[in-house]
Chain A
Amino acid sequence: GIQVEQSPPDLILQEGANSTLRCNFSDSVNNLQWFHQNPWGQLINLFYIPSGTKQNGRLSATTVATERYSLLYISSSQTTDSGVYFCAVVSNDYKLSFGAGTTVTVRA
């Protein structure tokens, strides 16, 4: 099956800092989504981004499908941004695969 690798595994930020999370995938995909899982386990859909660039407030994402990677940018981080960020891809056999996640801790 398709392999999804996220980096870094852990990230500690000071409030107000910017950061970039990366997602690499091993094969062509039909779509890609970024999720944020809060400390209570709830998965929130951040971006549905099979290609191109999207922005939503302080967050933005870019997917370069031909090079098999996606980036999630967090600007001016806040403590509420803490949690685990997952990248998930749908392969050509229509199965969804998640990466292992990046755990982000934002300190006040």
Chain B
Amino acid sequence: DAGVTQSPTHLIKTRGQQVTLRCSPKSGHDTVSWYQQALGQGPQFIFQYYEEEERQRGNFPDRFSGHQFPNYSSELNVNALLLGDSALYLCASSFRTGGLSPLHFGNGTRLTVT
């Protein structure tokens, strides 16, 4: 039973570029959420997708957008990259939205913006 998978594992981009990160949820899960974790800090909630719609959103600018596909996989897009966007990006999946079931995390994508 595959857990949550994320790709790529590492990525280096230049300021101003755009990036797309991908996530496949654990089998049986239908909800995907994304988090940004800066070095030495706890993860910060970006947004959550359920039934192909954004259901909740944290305090992130519109440069951060996402998508969920019919197979429940998800993408996180970040436009106009800033140096401050360098972080570990984590995807988590769960069953049903609302945070009322346990979250399972992928191994993350480490994004470096130069």
Chain A residues within 8 Å of B, Cβ to Cβ: 30-31, 33, 35, 40-45, 48, 86, 88, 90, 93-101
Inter-subunit contact A30/B98 (CB<8 Å): yes
Known: A88-B43, A97-B45. 17 other contacts (CB 8 A): A31-B99, A35-B105, A42-B105, A43-B105, A44-B105, A48-B101, A48-B102, A90-B98, A93-B56, A94-B48, A94-B56, A95-B56, A95-B58, A96-B45, A98-B42, A98-B43, A98-B44
Give residues of chain B (29-83) contacting chain A, Cβ–Cβ below 8 Å. Answer: 33, 35, 37, 41-45, 48, 55-56, 58
Most buried by B among A33, A41, A93, A100: A41
Known: A48-B102, A95-B58. A100 touches B33 (CB 8 A): no
Please give me the residue from chain B that is nearest to A99 by CB atom. Answer: B42
A-B Cβ contacts below 8 A, count: 60
Secondary structure class of chain A's binding surface, majority of residues: strand
Inter-subunit contact A33/B102 (CB<8 Å): yes
Inter-subunit contact A94/B97 (CB<8 Å): yes
Whether a CB of chain A sits under 8 angstroms from the CB of B13 is no
**18 A-B contacts (beta carbon < 8 Å):** A30-B98, A31-B99, A31-B100, A33-B102, A41-B37, A41-B88, A42-B105, A43-B90, A48-B102, A90-B98, A90-B99, A94-B48, A94-B55, A95-B56, A98-B35, A98-B42, A98-B43, A100-B41
- Residues of B close to A40: CB separation below 8 A: 107
- Residues of A close to B88: CB separation below 8 A: 41
Q: Which of B33, B55, B99, B107 contacts A42 (CB 8 A)?
A: B107
